[in-house]
Amino acid sequence: NAGVTQTPKFRILKIGQSMTLQCTQDMNHNYMYWYRQDPGMGLKLIYYSVGAGITDKGEVPNGYNVSRSTTEDFPLRLELAAPSQTSVYFCASSLPTWTGSNEQFFGPGTRLTVL
């Protein structure tokens, strides 16, 4: 299993540009998450999904959008990139909480710089 994969690894955007960060998992996990991590800080939840067709906002959703058309994929869309969105973005997945084993598996991250 590849686990959670993210593309691209690095990206530089100009202010106002848009892009999609890709995330795929092959563990058949229902739950998927997007976090951002700013230097020296913890992880802030942007959006999450408990299954295909279902998404919900996390702590810092402004400026982002997500979709979940399949169990495997959970892309994150940035519209009108701003310098404040410079960060490292992590995608994660887990089994549902009722399984009692809801540890999150993280992808390698995407380092995004907005200039």
Partner 1 sequence: GQQVMQIPQYQHVQEGEDFTTYCNSSTTLSNIQWYKQRPGGHPVFLIQLVKSGEVKKQKRLTFQFGEAKKNSSLHITATQTTDVGTYFCAAAIYNQGGKLIFGQGTELSVKP
Q: Where do contacts with partner 1 occur on this chain (CB under 8 A)?
A: 31, 33, 35, 40-45, 48, 50, 58-59, 90, 92, 94, 96-97, 100-109
DSSP 3-state assignment of 98?
A: helix
Minimum distance, C-beta of residue 41 to partner 1, in the bound complex (Å):
6
**Closest by CA position to 35, among listed 83, 91, 113, 109:** 91
Minimum distance, C-beta of residue 36 to partner 1, in the bound complex (Å):
11
Cβ-based nearer residue to partner 1, 74 or 90 = 90
Minimum distance, C-beta of residue 90 to partner 1, in the bound complex (Å):
6
Cβ-based nearer residue to partner 1, 85 or 110 = 110
CA distance 101 to 108: 21
Phi-psi region of 84 (alpha: psi -120 to 50; beta: other; left: phi over 0): alpha
User: Phi and psi (nearest 5°) for 60?
Assistant: -130, 65
77: which DSSP letter?
E
Cβ-based nearer residue to partner 1, 5 or 18 = 5
Minimum distance, C-beta of residue 5 to partner 1, in the bound complex (Å):
11
Cβ-based nearer residue to partner 1, 87 or 109 = 109
DSSP 3-state assignment of 50?
A: strand
